[in-house]
Structure 1
């Protein structure tokens, strides 16, 4: 997968797995990653799917309707890529925290839904429920930050609450942060995510 790896100054700090939104690239969230944890190594990945020329992490059938078969395949692809990247760049595979926005947050959620111990934690900006009606692995105590818009037209408050409930029921420690700027990732949301990260890691 096309990606950027930046070695951090503190090998003890978790590695940040950066996952962009639809139409983004591996460059998009570098500033956010450095703001959240300046000392961390960064693995920023570009999605392998194109939708009208725009990179995504998995296909969708319509706005808000995921191609589940492709989602499962692409989640496995990303999971295996992080495994191989940890060997290539010699970082601790069990110390990876995902930071995703929109489509990137959805694939990060999908990692949590499909693979036990895939992540040490996750910052999900404006995520949706990746799949419903499936058994989620035990996420006992796993810290998750969800940034959401109370007036988000793409990811409704109900969708956010549903995801939060599913993660909590699987044992995750979820912190919900609400804004009123639609689907936008704001500075205040990013600052809250950074404060949450400092508190948890």
Structure 2
């Protein structure tokens, strides 16, 4: 998968996995990583799927309607890529914190839904429930931050609450931060994510 890896200056910090939204690239969330943890290593990945020329991490059938077969395939593909990337770039696979926005948050959530050891933590900006009717792995104590919009036209508050409940039932420690800026990723949301991150991962 096309990606950027930047070695950080703090070997104790978790490595940030950046996953962009629809139409983004592996460069989109680099400023977010800088705001969250400027000394951390960063692995930023571009989605392998194109929708009308716009990169995504999995196909969809319509707005808000996922191609579930492709989602499952791409989730495993990304998981296997992360295993290989950790060897290639020499970062601790067990110390990976996902930072995803929109479509990138959805594939990160799908990784949590499928794999017990996908991440050490996750920051999900405006995610949806990736799949329903799936028994989640044991996620005991796994810290998850969800940034959501109370007036998000793509991801309703009900969707956010459902995702929180599903992750919580699997044992994850979920924090939801609400904004009133639709589906946008705002500075105040990033600041809230940083405060959350510092409280759990900063030394």
- Structure 2 length normalisation: TM-score? 0.99
Summarize the alignment of residues 1-150 of structure 1 with structure 2, pairs less than 5 Å apart: 1-150=1-150
Which deviations, in whole Å up to 9, do the C-alpha atoms of 1:128-154 show, x marking residues without a partner? 000001100000000000000000000
Partner-residue secondary structure (3-state), 2:40? coil
Q: How many residues align?
A: 201
| Corresponding residue of 2:180 | 180
Q: What is the CA-CA distance between 1:196 and the residue it aligns to? A: 0.3
| Corresponding residue of 1:158 | 158
Q: What is the CA-CA distance between 1:81 and the residue it aligns to? A: 0.5
Which deviations, in whole Å up to 9, do the C-alpha atoms of 1:148-181 show, x marking residues without a partner? 0000000000000000000000000000000000
Please provide the CA RMSD for this pair: 0.4
**How far apart are the structure 2 equivalents of 1:158 and 1:120?**
26
**How far apart are the structure 1 equivalents of 2:157 and 2:66?**
18
Partner-residue secondary structure (3-state), 2:35? helix
**How far apart are the structure 2 equivalents of 1:134 and 1:93?**
25
Is residue 169 from structure 1 mapped to residue 144 from structure 2 by the alignment? no
**How far apart are the structure 1 equivalents of 2:180 and 2:135?**
32
Point out 4+ residue stretches in structure 1 off by more than 4 angstroms: none
**How far apart are the structure 2 equivalents of 1:34 and 1:73?**
31
**How far apart are the structure 2 equivalents of 1:170 and 1:37?**
27
- Structure 1 length normalisation: TM-score? 1.00
Q: What is the CA-CA distance between 1:11 and the residue it aligns to? A: 1.0
Partner-residue secondary structure (3-state), 2:8? coil
